[in-house]
Amino acid sequence: MIEVKHLKKAYRIEKQEIPVLEDISLTIHDGEFTVIMGESGCGKSTFLNCISGLLKASDGEILLDGKDLNRATRKEMEAIRLHQFGFIFQDNYMIDNLTILENVAMTRLLYAKDGYEKAMSLLKQMRIEHLADKYPAHVSGGEKQRVAIARAMMNDPAILFADEPTASLDKYSAKEIMEIFAELNQKGQTILMVTHSAGIGAYGNRILVMDKGCFLDDKYLEGTLPDKTKVIQGLVDKV
Ligand SMILES: Nc1ncnc2c1ncn2[C@@H]1O[C@H](COP(=O)(O)OP(=O)(O)OP(=O)(O)O)[C@@H](O)[C@H]1O
């Protein structure tokens, strides 16, 4: 569970402070698949980066099971990112001269002996075990995103953060990736995802709509994918 209390974030450009997030308070509960939507530039990625510790918030508390990430030392934050968080982005950089299996296994090999077995079992779960010995340059965009999910799941993260994970994919690959997300969530994985697409957001079960650094709507979603897409579109159109 992550509790966000009075989170503020401003960027400093030269001597000027540019406020982006304005006093946000909310809770992300375990097992939720929360989706953040809103117009370009409203602060979605800034929010995701602050609560995942990739960016330091200007003020407020971000409590992960009671521990305030905004006051954690760099070493504590590194450990939390390694052991408790998983990240998936639009473009997932991989090390070109390592195989897919090595890319996935890498972070766990830093502290556990079962890196390769765990990586192989996740490649199987993502149905891409046949890619294990290939290099990143030789797999498609959709396959690369599956590799990125496997890599993000390597340390059994408490929360999976995803920023526009389907933005660079065609609609068929995007659907496959979202089906994997939905399956992981059904097995209990907490997910926090930013997207621009109501159809992609509909795979989630909670929608947060952001406008100018605040959340305007926070709604739990039920029903079929088309039902949820309609609800999300209605909320987003109000912005
Ligand atoms: N490092 C930075 N320094 C200064 N300003 C920044 C920085 N990163 C983002 N911003 C500004 O903060 C605001 C919010 O950016 P952010 O990327 O969080 O928005 P977003 O909602 O994720 O946008 P998009 O949907 O286009 O990705 C924007 O005005 C952006 O220009």
CA-proximal residue: ligand 1, atom 27 (nearest): 40
Place of tokens 């079962």: 114
Question: Buried b vs exposed e over 14-48: b needs ≥16 C-beta within 10 Å?
Answer: eeeeeebbeebeeebeeebbbbbbbeeebbbbbbb
> What pLDDT score was predicted for residue 5?
97
Q: What is the pTM of this model?
A: 0.94
CA neighbor of 183 nearest in space, from 160, 210, 214: 160
The helix-helix angle for 115-125 and 141-153 (nearest 10°) equals 130
> What pLDDT score was predicted for residue 168?
86
Strand pairing category for 206-211 and 190-194: unpaired
44 CA → ligand 1 middle, Å: 8
CA-proximal residue: ligand 1, atom 25 (nearest): 40
41 CA → ligand 1 middle, Å: 5
- What ligand 1 atom has the least distance to the C-alpha of 47? 18
- Structure-token pair, residue 71: 């006051």
How many other C-beta atoms lie within 10 A of the C-beta of residue 142? 19
CA-proximal residue: ligand 1, atom 28 (nearest): 41
Task: Return per-residue pLDDT of the chain as tens, 239 residues.
Answer: 999 999 999 999 888 999 999 999 999 999 999 999 999 999 999 999 999 999 999 999 999 988 999 999 999 998 999 889 999 988 888 999 999 999 999 988 888 889 999 999 999 999 999 999 999 999 998 999 999 999 999 999 999 999 999 998 899 989 999 999 999 999 999 999 999 999 999 999 999 999 999 999 999 999 999 999 999 999 999 88
Q: Which residues line ligand 1 (CB under 6 A)?
A: 11, 13, 18, 20, 38, 40-46
CA-proximal residue: ligand 1, atom 11 (nearest): 41
> What pLDDT score was predicted for residue 239?
84
C-alpha to C-alpha distances, 130 to 9, 127, 178, 228, nearest whole angstrom? 44, 8, 21, 35
239 CA → ligand 1 middle, Å: 18
